[in-house]
Structure 1
Amino acid sequence: MARYRSNTPKSLKDALTDFLEDYPHRKRLKRGMILSIWEETVGKRIADETENIHFEHGNLVVHVKNPAWRQEIHMKRFSIAKKLNEKVDEKIIKEIVVRS
């Protein structure tokens, strides 16, 4: 707790980062963050074609409505995972699994 007490002011970002490092459910929180930024990261068109996005054993599972989009998302899965992990500053997604 002493780490939160200081005579010098801290930026809100730094204070939140310190808090999240000690937060016991950090991974669960970051998984929720990833789900909430899915559309922002992949774009509206891909987000409209996906549904039932969830985590299974560290993998992000994405269900695709149209099988033609399955291949498109499958080819981009590494870059999508990298972008999502970068946005939450931690490697939360091991791999993206695309199912139709």
Structure 2
Amino acid sequence: MPADGPRPLGEVLKEVIDELGVQEEVDEARVVETWASLAGEKINSVTESAWMKGSTLYVKITSAAWRQELHMNRRKWRDRLNGALEAELVDEIVFR
């Protein structure tokens, strides 16, 4: 049954995402994009790549010093990331 009038775009997009079964891919893209935004210029300059596998975010860092610093603070980064996403999408962050 068609809707009687205009509907919010967010509602329509959610339906389409659900019908296509791509919510996981959308969430993964949001996590990687949000990570880059939170990390800032300095960390992004030493980041080779970032990707999700399950609920773990992997970030490949080219600097050993930065990798160590980020690793020591990975729980804080996870909490900041989930806070920015307003969802518990990341259980762990692994810096390589």
Q: Same fold (TM over 0.5)?
A: yes
User: Is this contact kept in 2: 1:30–1:88, CA < 8 A?
Assistant: no
Q: Which residue of 25, 30, 34 maps to 1:28?
A: 25
Q: d(CA) in 2 for partners of 1:23 and 1:43?
A: 33
SS in 1 for 2:70: helix
Question: How far, CA to CA, are the matches of 2:80 and 2:5 in structure 1?
Answer: 34
Q: 1:68 aligns with which of 60, 65, 69?
A: 65
Give how far 1:65 is off: 0.4
CA contact (8 A) 1:54 1:61 kept: yes
SS in structure 1 of the partner of residue 88 of structure 2: coil
What letter corresponds to residue 31 of structure 1 in structure 2? Answer: E
Q: Which runs of 5+ in 1 are unaligned?
A: none
CA separation of 1:58/1:82 partners in 2, compared to 1, >3 Å: closer, same or farther? Answer: same
Q: Retained in 2: the 8 A contact 1:60–1:93? A: yes
Give the unaligned 5+ runs of structure 2: none
RMSD over equivalenced CA pairs, Å = 2.4
Q: Secondary structure at the match of 1:51?
A: strand
Q: Mapping of 1:1-100 within 5 angstroms?
A: 24-99=21-96
| Identity, % of aligned positions | 25
